[in-house]
Structure 1
Amino acid sequence: MRPTLLGALTALLAALLATPPATAAPPRIESRGVVFDVSNINETSVPCTSDGQQYHLRGRLVGPTKDLDGVSGALRVNVLVHDLGAGGWFWNLRSHPAYDYATRLAAQGETTLVLDRLGYGASRLADGNATCLGAQANMLHQVVQHLTSGRYDYTSSRFGATPAAAHVVTHGLGIGAAIAQVEAGTFDDVDGLVLMSWTDRGATSLATRAAARHSRDCVGTDYAPRPSMRELFFSSASGAVRRAVVHRQDDDPCGDVGSLSPLVLGSNLEAREVDAPVLLLYGGKDKVNRASAREDQAASYSTRVTTRTFPGAGYALPLEKQAGQVRAAVLRWLR
């Protein structure tokens, strides 16, 4: 009997050891419309003029349901700041789920705010000359303050109160990254910066020519069509993703276009004032920023800086074939 009992116990132990551990179910994810009341003012180092009026900024809070319901404890919100020619859709490309940055981060437990800056998408502005990039940084600051206090609203009353953020990290691409940098250097109210495809020290000649053409498009009008993203944004993205992006391109408020040079100056001035940790991400085949400027950009901060370059990727990192690697690097850094 004893050998039989011993054999049974050995078999049972082997079966238990072979059984894979239970894994946690993926979080339930939701996307809810939100609105922020902001003043279109400029109190930054970027010399440009705005109309000082009150506006609604609209966007979407994307994350686990428990976070959006405010029952998960200390909440981190990642604020996604889009580039020129884009809108919140850039970070939330739901037609191509593999490249939906906001939803993919939510699947890993992160909550994001996908914002339409003033003049874009659901935050359309009647007069595109009424705002500027310094004001965009100031309005981003107001959004951060509203997030930390919980003083903003869901667009649907059925969701109840909005959650307050214990921590805010801003993510920006291109001009969106510059806006986030100016905001952080001026107001010192965020816990981290993820800056993609940005340097205030080395635009390529191709990017400089495109910016000059864009400025000429604003002569005598208040909105200008963005120079083709096909030319500047991509290196490895699929044809389907490129077509989806070009189809969604937003016109740019000419107040933003006219304040590009002042923004670069302000970004340069504010770099040393940034206290939050910085993650700099670049594509190895970026057509907008010179590769030689990346080290200078990293050296411009007095805080902790992490730099990562993705070989083969272009400027639009969240939409390139390397998008999964980009998100993985961001998640490692956040954690």
Structure 2
Amino acid sequence: MRWSRLRLSAVALLAASAGLLPAPASAVSGAGAGAVSGAGAVACEDLRVPVTVLGTPHSVHGRLCTPAGASTVQVLIPGGTYNSSYWDISYSPDTRSYRQAMNRAGIATLAVDRLGTGRSSRPLSALVTASTQAHAVHQVVRAVRPRFEKVVVGGHSIGAAMALIEAGTYRDVDGVLVTGFTHRMNLVTVVPALAGMIPAVLDPHLRRGGLDVGYLTTAPGTRYGSFHAPGPRVDDAIGVDEATKDVFAASEAVDTITLHNVVVPFTRLVDVPVMVVVGAGDTHFCGRPLGSDCRSTDSLRDSESPFFSPAARLHAHVLPDYGHSINYAPNAPAYHRAVQAWTATL
């Protein structure tokens, strides 16, 4: 993929639509899907939310898991080349499953597949930008809100940019969780990573209907270096990451980079609490020459504060000894606990 090709992609807007439909498959879980100590079982169901892309109907798939009595839901957006499974990692789930960690704390989770990924619809890739994805998530938030008192929108990496665009544009959530993303993107490492992507149609595991050549994925054998280093290389965990990888549209990167590293209009509009979490070794967003200061929680908060209004009451957390995809970190429970504590303050 050539960088110039990214710049040619246009920003499209989604028209609003409403509705929340259960997908054909649904389940009410017991211990096998994350029983909650002291709070009863967790009910999980697959949802399909109708959305519209430039007048064309599509749908966003999500997995909603609700502990008994939960009043807060986190709507979770995965990063590029990930789908909703990033929030519920099957390898060592007691440690790495963000979904189970939140459910154990009594917080409901709705992990969505971005348009083009997982079981969501697959529009033409040129129509899929961070802004269109954010509007799709807005429709998901609108559909699920009647079931909960509070809604938090959260995202990882490019999904975090979408969460910020959604919150700043529509102001319909009670908090924003940002993981694996800062405003000081280290383009020295990001651009080569993007340039190393391959069309998903060339990957034997991702040759599925509806994907045009604008949908990209990681080349085989590159995920540890791109997403996990300098964390420990756990082959079984990296194997799960490779087996569950997905796609992203080249056009999703365009407004993520320009809106959050040049213009920065949306984050100043966010008027609810925000929490930012990164791995200390995330070279895509941390460290010299262009990244944020991720040496400590205080330095990260100081680095990100200028991009937010006082209403964001910015919280920060740095997870030591890991790179970009922090849900895979063996010490991920430390950041899970920090998010749980922050959510309780909303």
Instruction: Return the TM-score normalized by structure 1.
Output: 0.77
Task: Indicate whether 1:60 and 2:63 are aligned.
Answer: yes
Please give the residue correspondences for 1:1-335 in structure 2 after superposition, counting only pairs within 5 Å: 25-40=38-53, 51-64=54-67, 66=68, 72=69, 75-98=71-94, 99-125=96-122, 127-149=124-146, 164-214=147-197, 221-226=213-218, 228-234=222-228, 235-237=230-232, 238-264=234-260, 268-291=264-287, 293=292, 294=300, 295-302=302-309, 303-335=312-344
> What letter is aligned with 2:276?
L
- How far 1:89 sits from its partner (Å)? 0.5
> What letter is aligned with 1:56?
S
Query: What corresponds to 2:34 in structure 1?
Result: none
Q: Runs of 5+ in structure 1 lacking a partner?
A: 1-23, 41-50, 67-71, 150-163
- CA contact 1:178–1:267 (8 Å) conserved in 2: no
Identity %: 24
Q: Using a 3 Å threshold, how does the CA distance of structure 1 residues 282 and 109 change in structure 2: closer, same or farther?
A: same
> What letter is aligned with 1:128?
S
> What letter is aligned with 1:222?
G
- CA contact 2:183–2:307 (8 Å) conserved in 1: no
Q: Using a 3 Å threshold, how does the CA distance of structure 1 residues 266 and 141 change in structure 2: closer, same or farther?
A: farther
Instruction: Write the distance in 1 (CA, Å) between the matches of 2:173 and 2:262.
Output: 18
Instruction: Write the distance in 2 (CA, Å) between the matches of 1:60 and 1:113.
Output: 5
- CA contact 1:192–1:276 (8 Å) conserved in 2: yes
> What letter is aligned with 1:189?
D
Give the superposed CA RMSD: 2.4
Instruction: Write the distance in 2 (CA, Å) between the matches of 1:33 and 1:209.
Output: 36
SS, match of residue 231 in structure 1:
helix
- CA contact 1:88–1:114 (8 Å) conserved in 2: yes
Query: What corresponds to 1:8 in structure 2?
Result: none
Most deviating of 183-192 and 220-229: 220-229
- CA contact 1:120–1:252 (8 Å) conserved in 2: yes
Instruction: Write the distance in 2 (CA, Å) between the matches of 1:88 and 1:307.
Output: 24
Aligned residues: 280
- How far 1:52 sits from its partner (Å)? 3.8
SS, match of residue 269 in structure 1:
coil
Q: Runs of 5+ in structure 2 lacking a partner?
A: 1-36, 202-211, 293-299
Instruction: Write the distance in 2 (CA, Å) between the matches of 1:30 and 1:109.
Output: 12
> What letter is aligned with 2:329?
E
- How far 1:257 sits from its partner (Å)? 4.4
- How far 1:39 sits from its partner (Å)? 1.7
- CA contact 2:115–2:123 (8 Å) conserved in 1: no
Instruction: Write the distance in 2 (CA, Å) between the matches of 1:315 and 1:243.
Output: 16
- How far 1:197 sits from its partner (Å)? 1.7
- CA contact 1:86–1:249 (8 Å) conserved in 2: yes
Query: What corresponds to 2:17 in structure 1?
Result: none
**Larger radius of gyration between Structure 1 and Structure 2:** 1
- CA contact 1:223–1:253 (8 Å) conserved in 2: yes
- How far 1:230 sits from its partner (Å)? 1.6
Instruction: Write the distance in 2 (CA, Å) between the matches of 1:267 and 1:146.
Output: 30
Instruction: Write the distance in 2 (CA, Å) between the matches of 1:95 and 1:322.
Output: 14
